[in-house]
């Protein structure tokens, strides 16, 4: 490399190092965290397969698709499958297959007052961890998929401080059970006894 090219490279590195930090470069934890996440969860024993998950921010004119796949436990918890939050999500299109019901559902969800939800997510919500009180924003937007096609939306950093921000009903769509045969066999092996003893809970979510 020539001295001239070497000097240019050094200058570029200096300029990059002195540039203003972007939002993604901010702290991932703490009251001023820039970390934000979308989680998809299902109740225990009621696994689902999400084969379509589209998110759109109408105000920012941005849309993206997230590969979710299998979702197994736990209801009203900031766990399960997750997707990056590029900007405040406002509309979701979700299609999933319920293994317990052997039925597919689809839901088009439009959050009401997304700006208010975003402000609420930035508020600090304390929780206890290892005997100490920790303060974090409610940086998880969680969508719960329940039997019967029920979809519940919460914001939280832990399940104990979850706030419900929406409740929706998906519609039944044509089901191709053969596409999920192998996963269904594994699911039945793990959960058949529970379903035989308790049935499928369609209400109360």
Quote helix, strand, coil % in the chain, to nearest 5: 25, 40, 35
Tokens standing for 18?
A: 């002195």
Distance between CA atoms of 138 and 121, rounded to whole angstroms? 5
Q: How many residues does the chain have?
A: 205
**pLDDT tens-digit map of 77-130:** 988 888 878 788 999 999 999 999 999 999 999 999 999 999 999 888 888 888
Q: What 8-state DSSP symbol labels residue 22?
A: P
Degrees (nearest 5) of the Cα angle 21, 63, 145? 105
**pLDDT tens-digit map of 138-195:** 989 999 999 999 999 999 999 999 999 999 999 999 999 999 999 999 999 999 999 9
Q: Using an 8 Å Cβ cutoff, are 123 and 161 in contact? A: no
């Amino acid at each position: 490399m020539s001295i001239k090219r070497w000097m240019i490279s050094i200058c570029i590195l200096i300029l990059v190092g002195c540039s203003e930090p972007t939002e993604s470069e901010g702290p991932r934890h703490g009251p001023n965290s820039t970390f934000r996440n979308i989680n998809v969860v299902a109740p225990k024993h009621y696994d689902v397969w999400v084969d379509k998950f589209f998110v759109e921010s109408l105000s920012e004119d941005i849309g993206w698709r997230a590969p979710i796949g299998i979702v197994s436990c736990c209801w009203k918890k900031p766990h399960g499958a997750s997707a990056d939050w590029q900007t405040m999500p406002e509309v979701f299109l979700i299609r999933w297959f319920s293994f317990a019901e052997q039925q597919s559902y689809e839901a088009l969800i439009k959050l009401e007052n997304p700006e208010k939800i975003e402000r609420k997510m930035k508020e600090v919500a304390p929780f206890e961890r290892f005997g100490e009180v920790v303060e974090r924003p409610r940086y998880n937007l969680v969508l719960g998929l329940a039997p019967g096609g029920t979809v519940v939306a919460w914001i939280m950093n832990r399940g104990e401080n979850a706030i419900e921000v929406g409740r929706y009903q998906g519609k039944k769509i044509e089901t191709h059970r053969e596409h999920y045969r192998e996963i269904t066999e594994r699911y039945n092996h793990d959960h058949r006894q529970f379903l035989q003893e308790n049935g499928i809970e369609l209400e109360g979510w």
